[in-house]
Structure 1
Amino acid sequence: MSRSVIPFIFFALVIAGEWYGFQAVRTLVQNSSPATRRLTLAVYWVLTVVIWGLGIWAMSNRRQHASFKSYFGGLLLAMLAAKIVVVIPLLLEDLTRVARWAVQAVSGPKGSGEGRAISRSEFLSKAALVVGAVPFVSLIWGMAKGGTDYTVKRVTLRFPNLPASFDGFKLLQISDLHTGSFQTKEPLQRAVALINQQQADLVFMTGDLVNNYAHEVEEHIDTLAGIKSSLPIYSVLGNHDYGDYVQEFKEDRSLWQTNLARIKQNHAKIGWELLLDEARTVERNGEKIAILGVQNWGARGFAQYGKLDKAHAAADPTAPFKILLSHDPSHWDEQVHGYEDIDLTLSGHTHGMQFGVNLPFLKWSPVQYAYKQWAGLYQRGRQYLYVNAGLGFIGYHGRVGFLPEITVFELRRA
């Protein structure tokens, strides 16, 4: 599908959603008193206009705090999702009625009982409103609670080449903090406490510390510095850390460079060791594993700063087991497959799109149509990829289905 067509499709869905949403509400109160009908429809349109106005204002106001943009944008998203869902059954019903009318126009009525006027079923309108309430309530809940409802996922991985000294070794991964979206320190303080409860041997952060600006993390430096680890905490950069989406940085590259340098300094202030196409060695009882970290490398229009060949060349050749930190999971198919001695790749980036169905027997999110590997564990031969759903949020100020995630891996010898 051409990208130029997408705005027209979106516009058509919005118009259809507003039309059918109004018709459903009007049908719902058609048997009420005139005063009740007028009041209900007035409230409907006032709320619609206010939500649209707040959403457009927040999205277009560059000076507005990211959290307010997310809240108002999320409210608009919830309303649109509800109305678009309402469209589906009512549109199908209208198409069915039009088809029935066409058949009757050609063949003539087959009985007085079937000569009904074409009208929308009150029952179907009520059912459509109930169905439409599901995404609306879910998205509102996602903003009120889901965005900071931190979950710990535990994954056991077995490798034949894992050194014996690392059997039972615990890794912990966090990703996509997007600290610019937080209004207060409290959520990340809870997250850090939960991280420390896991008592991991080694901690990783796989990119997107901020939304765009280096200063966004600075009020959270003391909080994040509280993550405890006896070994260095290794981190990499994600696509948002470069500030590539900021217009002023595009116009003035010196500002871009200053912001990026400040981001790197903030990693150090937190106490994290930022890997920029580099490698480190972790040793236990004379046995070694290698940790590789690359800058962001994405295959779908995202920047490709990372140099995997450089990081791989820097790895200790005597280490039989290698872990790669690479923010974007598309890197795994595009380049990592060429390095068969990279045993485990840890990524983030997708967030599970912060919305979807995440059940043991069913996982679905719109992001799966853009990314082959988008949430959880993947295997190809002896190589594994894990895609962390992220700890923060951006755009939509919440999460539904794919809650903020802290992942704990236990490494075992096969």
Structure 2
Amino acid sequence: MQRIITSALFVVLLLGVDWYVFQAVRTVSQGASAATQRFITGGYWLLTLVSLFGILWMALTRGTPPTLLRTYLTSAIMVLFVSKLVVVLFLLVDDAGRLVRFMASKFGARPDPLGNGSPGISRSQFLNRMALVAGGIPFVALIWGMVKGATDYQVKRVVLKFPNLPASFDGFKLLQISDLHTGSFNADPEPLERAVALINKQQADLVFMTGDLVNNVATEVEPHIDTLAKIQSKLPIYSILGNHDYADYVDWTDLGGQSAKQANLDRLKQNHAKIGWKLLLDESHTIERDGEKIAVLGVQNWGAQMRFPKYGNLAQAHAGSGDAPFKILLSHDPSHWEAQVLEYPDIDLTLSGHTHGMQFGVNLSFLKWSPVQYVYKQWAGLYSKGKQHLYVNTGLGFIGYPGRVGFLPEITVFELRRA
């Protein structure tokens, strides 16, 4: 019942927004021929009708496994809705102006000539046109993000200097990938094959994967095991689990309950091994070079946000790192850093993922913005406190919206230097 009510409310909201935006479409097309106006009107409401049927179909088939059609239909509807909301913001400015002029006329004030009867375009027409142009910006950007951005892999290079880095590791090259979400690729190996080729081109000494190998269940990665097994590293590849890897977002009630959920997690761990990755479960491994060593710690998912279970045990992982003079921690959720990691001053570098940069935002050299920053204090790129550093990788894959705008899929290469 709750689902039906929610869907009905969304339909009412969608129709209200569509009607409001249509007023701008009608105003802007007033100068066109009658046939053109009929074509625009018919096309506009046909698109609305298709969206409504799409919402109805998804509501009736809710709970079925996600498909490529379902994913892209959902995203297309949301892209249209978001674009129309931008139009609505501009129209509200126009209507506010109308209200002011109406109130002014009631009190005997002289009407604003720019709004009525002036030569050329009126304020109302100008704002309606601006509204449609502004709505077109997110529409084009989000469509581009689906067509191109989702697999437009970017290599980011970061040089980090540490006074306590052993001399043998000066110039050591780390590579981080995160949030592969292989379930979003379905069975198509081509995008991940391109990513693997780009990863191997970097010739890293050590490769890390910092969680969220799948969206929900272990089988999602299995069509891609052979592809991911081709990732090359001079040393063992280390991985950890992310919040999606535990299948907490699956309703296991009719699927075998907790025993089936545990079996799924066990299978996922086996898939890490099949790929050739060493999965770190609250443990530490030492890497030696010319008699000197660094420690790699890996914890299960631990998030400071209340909605995410706290599986990880940092104390246990840290205890195994011994007296290594330089320590790298793999922890999927960046909120872990301020909540616990900074209490361990000998953890020099923490590598996280999880946020995806929300797969949408502005990512320029002089401006970095995404809605996710209002939830996570550390959400993309490098952060430092004292001698400790955190890097948040925005992820290689995608989930939900099958695209990326601004924060493109990322492969991060770190060069460690002795200060």
TM-score per shorter chain, which class? over 0.9
For residue 308 of structure 1, what is the amino acid of its counterpart?
L
2:200 aligns with: 196
CA distance in 2, matches of 1:325, 1:112: 63
Bigger mean CA deviation after superposition, 7-16 or 60-69: 7-16
Counterparts in 2 of 1:171-182, with a 5 A limit?
171-182=174-185
**Structure 1 residues 111 and 42, CA gap change in structure 2 (3 angstroms):** closer
Alignment of 1:359 onto 2:364: yes
Task: Specify the SS of the correspondent of 1:203.
Answer: strand
CA distance in 1, matches of 2:390, 2:135: 36
Q: Is contact 2:211–2:245 with CA below 8 Å preserved after alignment? A: yes
**Structure 1 residues 172 and 9, CA gap change in structure 2 (3 angstroms):** farther
CA distance in 2, matches of 1:310, 1:362: 39
Offset from partner CA, 1:160-209 (integer Å, 9 cap, x none): 11000000000000000000000300000000000000000000000000
Offset from partner CA, 1:388-408 (integer Å, 9 cap, x none): 000000000010000000000
Alignment of 1:309 onto 2:315: yes
2:247 aligns with: 243
1:369 aligns with: 374
Bigger mean CA deviation after superposition, 259-268 or 70-79: 70-79
Structure 1: tracts of 5 or more residues without a match: 1-5
Structure 2: tracts of 5 or more residues without a match: 1-5
2:94 aligns with: 93
Task: Specify the SS of the correspondent of 1:29.
Answer: helix
1:22 aligns with: 22
Between the aligned residues of both structures, percent identity stands at 64
**Structure 1 residues 283 and 249, CA gap change in structure 2 (3 angstroms):** farther
CA distance in 1, matches of 2:112, 2:262: 78
TM-score (norm 2): 0.92
Please state how far the C-alpha of 1:96 moved relative to its aligned partner. Answer: 1.9
Question: RMSD across aligned C-alpha pairs, in angstroms?
Answer: 2.3
2:388 aligns with: 383
Please state how far the C-alpha of 1:27 moved relative to its aligned partner. Answer: 1.1
Please state how far the C-alpha of 1:53 moved relative to its aligned partner. Answer: 2.9
Please state how far the C-alpha of 1:141 moved relative to its aligned partner. Answer: 0.6
Task: Specify the SS of the correspondent of 2:315.
Answer: helix
TM-score (norm 1): 0.93
Q: Is contact 1:298–1:304 with CA below 8 Å preserved after alignment? A: yes
CA distance in 2, matches of 1:152, 1:115: 52
Offset from partner CA, 1:265-302 (integer Å, 9 cap, x none): 00000000000001000100010100000000112111
Please state how far the C-alpha of 1:129 moved relative to its aligned partner. Answer: 0.7
1:281 aligns with: 286
Q: Is contact 1:243–1:249 with CA below 8 Å preserved after alignment? A: no
Alignment of 1:205 onto 2:232: no
**Structure 1 residues 8 and 58, CA gap change in structure 2 (3 angstroms):** closer
2:190 aligns with: 186
Counterparts in 2 of 1:67-86, with a 5 A limit?
67-86=68-87
1:318 aligns with: 323
Alignment of 1:350 onto 2:351: no
Give 1:128's match in structure 2, choosing from 131, 150, 157: 131
Alignment of 1:399 onto 2:404: yes
For residue 394 of structure 1, what is the amino acid of its counterpart?
I
For residue 290 of structure 1, what is the amino acid of its counterpart?
A
Please state how far the C-alpha of 1:33 moved relative to its aligned partner. Answer: 3.1
Please state how far the C-alpha of 1:146 moved relative to its aligned partner. Answer: 0.4
Q: Is contact 1:139–1:399 with CA below 8 Å preserved after alignment? A: yes
CA distance in 2, matches of 1:175, 1:26: 47
1:161 aligns with: 164
Task: Specify the SS of the correspondent of 1:152.
Answer: strand
CA distance in 1, matches of 2:9, 2:407: 27
* Off by >6 Å, runs of 4+ in structure 1: 6-13
Please state how far the C-alpha of 1:122 moved relative to its aligned partner. Answer: 2.0
**Structure 1 residues 205 and 364, CA gap change in structure 2 (3 angstroms):** same
For residue 360 of structure 1, what is the amino acid of its counterpart?
S
Q: Is contact 2:101–2:112 with CA below 8 Å preserved after alignment? A: no
Alignment of 1:233 onto 2:234: no
Q: Is contact 1:165–1:285 with CA below 8 Å preserved after alignment? A: yes
**Structure 1 residues 258 and 11, CA gap change in structure 2 (3 angstroms):** same
Offset from partner CA, 1:102-133 (integer Å, 9 cap, x none): 12212x1437958949x982222111111111
Q: Is contact 2:114–2:123 with CA below 8 Å preserved after alignment? A: no
CA distance in 2, matches of 1:55, 1:156: 47
CA distance in 1, matches of 2:254, 2:416: 43
CA distance in 1, matches of 2:55, 2:10: 16
CA distance in 2, matches of 1:127, 1:161: 56
Bigger mean CA deviation after superposition, 400-409 or 75-84: 75-84
1:140 aligns with: 143
Count of aligned pairs between the two proteins: 406
For residue 203 of structure 1, what is the amino acid of its counterpart?
V
Give 1:215's match in structure 2, choosing from 215, 219, 231: 219
Q: Is contact 1:176–1:209 with CA below 8 Å preserved after alignment? A: yes
1:3 aligns with: none
CA distance in 1, matches of 2:9, 2:154: 36
For residue 83 of structure 1, what is the amino acid of its counterpart?
K
2:301 aligns with: 296
Q: Is contact 2:104–2:110 with CA below 8 Å preserved after alignment? A: no
Please state how far the C-alpha of 1:14 moved relative to its aligned partner. Answer: 4.4
